[in-house]
Amino acid sequence: MTTFPAERAVRTTPEGLLWEPSDRWVRARRGEVTVVDSRHPVLVWEPAVPVPLYAFPREEVREDLLRPAKNPATGTHTGSRIFYDLDLGGELLENAAWTFPAADLAGHIAFEWFSRVGRGLDHWYEEEEEIFIHPRDPHKRVDAMASSRHVRVEIDGTLVADTVRPVLLFETALPTRFYIPREDVRMDLFVPTGHHTGCPYKGRADYWSSRSGAAAPANILWSYPDPLPAVGPIKDLLSFYNEAVDITVDGETLERPVTPFTRALSEQTRR
């Protein structure tokens, strides 16, 4: 009989890194070149960085494509001392890979994600599913639940959405987001912006800004036209940043939360 522990231990290194093995089969490419093909990846959390990265055993990495970095990116990635450039023949990606100084992670190499920092490997897969931005944190939940709550949204005193059929999205460490059917949003008050973002838990989002301009930050409204299966109920629904609008739920006005988005939204509003 195989016995599984009740919970998997996250390990800590003297350098302040947290890490744990993953059972997922992970592959990563640059263009059409597979650089990583690993069945023994490790998730690593750096201090003060809320999302994890993957590191891989050297034998599961195309080391023949790595060269000692010409201009090492010192001061990044928790004291890492060894950086590599990725040489793809006609393309050289500087500081695309590195090793962590922790003894626990000796023999492992990590790579940058292009969709996160604008350089590095640009296609990542867990099993047969493409993933984006960064690995999904196994200690984080994202649940989309249909509701009959009465949700009203106002921007600078103007009612812009009113629904009794929202989908509530509960995401660890973030405020509840209220996804509203398009028919219940005053879309005449908004204009599409062409802005897009990617989320490893939800997919790719499209954005709208308020036509009034100064009353709200840009890209205040968004939607996922083709969300990942785990959050399928939010498909084509629309949500607002709680941090920058006034939301009333069942007659109770919610306080605007302070989140990692608050400062950027505030600066956009002042422009």
Residue that has been written with the tokens 């009034």 in this structure: 212
Q: How far, in Å, CA of 27 to CA of 66, rounded?
A: 17
Residue range of the domain that includes 219: 142-270
196 assigned to some structural domain: yes
Are residues 253 and 227 part of one domain? yes
pLDDT of 240 over the 50 cut? yes
Q: For residues 197 and 240, what is the distance between their CA atoms, to the nearest angstrom?
A: 14
- Closest listed residue to residue 136, CA positions, set 123, 146, 124, 120: 124
Per-residue confidence band for 178, with pLDDT thresholds at 50, 70 and 90: very high
Sign of the alpha-carbon dihedral angle for 35, 38, 44, 50: positive
Same domain, 85 and 205: no
Nearest to 100 by CA among 117, 76, 128, 122: 76
The verdict on residue 6 lying in a domain is: no
pLDDT at 4 over 80: no
Of 211, 233, 237, 210, nearest to 223 by C-alpha is 237
10 Å Cβ neighbour count for 219?
21
Using pLDDT thresholds of 50, 70 and 90, give the confidence band for residue 268: low
Which candidate, 172, 202, 174, places its Cα nearest to that of 259?
Answer: 174
* 188 and 88 housed in the same domain: no
